[in-house]
Structures are given as C-alpha cells and as structure tokens.
Amino acid sequence: VFRGFDLAATGLFAVGGARLGAEADLDLFGVLVVAFVSALGGGILRDVLVGDLPPAAFRSVSYELAAVAGAGIVIVWYQLVREIPSGVITPLDAAALGLFCATGTAKGLDVGTNHTLAALLGMITAVGGGVIRDLLLNRVPQVLRVEIYAVAAVVGAAAMVVAVRLEVPRARAMAVGAAVCFTVRMVSVGLDWNLPRVRGA
C-alpha cells in the first residue's frame, strides 16, 4: 500500500512538471526531463545527501515508469490537462507533497542524523524536485518567493519527528506528518497566506 502511494505521488509530481515544461515550450525530450526531475529530483537529492547511492530512483525502474506515465499523460492529453482547474490540482499536489515529506523524514531518521536534520531532509525531499525543475526552466524557484509550500513541508516533517519521539509507531507517525503537511498547505491556499517579504519589513 505504502509503495503504491509513493508511486502515485511520483506520477502526480511528474504531471505537474511536464505541464510546466510544455508551457515553457520545451521539446518532447525536455518535457520528459522536467517531469523526471520534478518527480524524482527531491528523492535523488535526499539519497545523495545521506550517501545512499545509487539513489532509490536508480535501483528500481518502477519510479521511472511512474514518472514516464505522468509525463505521457501530459504529452498525449496536453489540451485537456491544461484545463484541469486548480481546485483539483492543488489538493493532489498537496497530498504528494505530504507523502514525500514523510518518506524523506523517515529516511533522515533511519540514517541516524539528529531529529532537526531529519526534518530538514524531509523538507528537501518534498521541495527539492521543484527547485531543480525551476533551475532548469531558468527562473527563481517558486518556493523561495511565494505561498506557504516549503513551510508546510517543514511543519509536517516536524510533526512527524515529534510523533516518533512520542513513540508513535513509524507508519502512523508518517501518516501524521503527511496529514499535517497536507492540511497546512490547503489551509494556507484557502486563506491566501504568504510569508512576509524581508525587504518590506
């Protein structure tokens, strides 16, 4: 079940990435690469940082297939995909964010880095793919500029770490982290929250 969720999250991030790639007028290969990077980049970054190499995404072909499937959907049905309202996309994306945040934090706890850094690793897993995607598309990563997105991942990861400290079983702690991340993200979109800019302070 867990693996199924993970692959679904990978596919969802690939759809989002492929959409942005197509909008940036990339060719077929470029759209595929951006989809891959969006879907697998965060996990690869996490595995590089903890030294678990080759990264999980390079050991099993199923993650690549999930990413290709996500990109394929956009390539084949681009006109349809671009008309999906954000009311559908935002919750799906928030769910994938929550899941990646939980798996990343779990890996951080496994390699025995301390708890603060495990939460940092969870956040990197969740937003890393989007950051590399934005670098490839030659723009300042969205996550640095607007909305409550990475902060949702940090809060979710912190909630999971607290749950683990309280000796909640691992699977349940991951569910807590993912749920908190999802909730913070959805509430912040609903209420149109943004972090303050430092310049204006």
Binding interface with a copy of itself (CB under 8 A):
18, 21-31, 33-34, 44, 48-51, 53-55, 58-59, 61, 64, 74-75, 78, 111, 113-114, 116-117, 120-121, 131, 135-141, 143-146, 150-151, 194-199, 201
Q: How far apart are CA 193 and CA 185, in angstroms?
A: 10
Torsion of CA 71, 74, 75, 79, to 10 degrees: -170
Q: How far apart are CA 132 and CA 139, in angstroms?
A: 10
Burial group, residue 75, by CB count within 10 angstroms (0-12, 13-18, 19+): middle
Q: Which is nearer to a copy of itself, 38 or 175 (CB)?
A: 38
Give the residue among 145, 107, 127 at the shortest CA–CA distance from 39: 127
Q: Which is nearer to a copy of itself, 53 or 187 (CB)?
A: 53
Q: How far is the CB of 173 from a copy of itself (least distance, A)?
A: 21
Q: Which is nearer to a copy of itself, 49 or 94 (CB)?
A: 49
Q: How far is the CB of 87 from a copy of itself (least distance, A)?
A: 24
Q: How far is the CB of 46 from a copy of itself (least distance, A)?
A: 10
H or E segment to which residue 48 belongs: helix 28-50
Q: Which is nearer to a copy of itself, 13 or 149 (CB)?
A: 149
Q: Which is nearer to a copy of itself, 63 or 100 (CB)?
A: 63
Q: How far apart are CA 124 and CA 112, in angstroms?
A: 17
Q: How far is the CB of 31 from a copy of itself (least distance, A)?
A: 5
Q: How far is the CB of 176 from a copy of itself (least distance, A)?
A: 22
Q: How far is the CB of 113 from a copy of itself (least distance, A)?
A: 6
Q: Provide CB contacts within 8 A for 194, sequence distance 6+.
A: 146, 147, 148
Q: How far apart are CA 105 and CA 61, in angstroms?
A: 23
Q: Which is nearer to a copy of itself, 3 or 199 (CB)?
A: 199
Give the residue among 61, 21, 18 at the shortest CA–CA distance from 39: 18
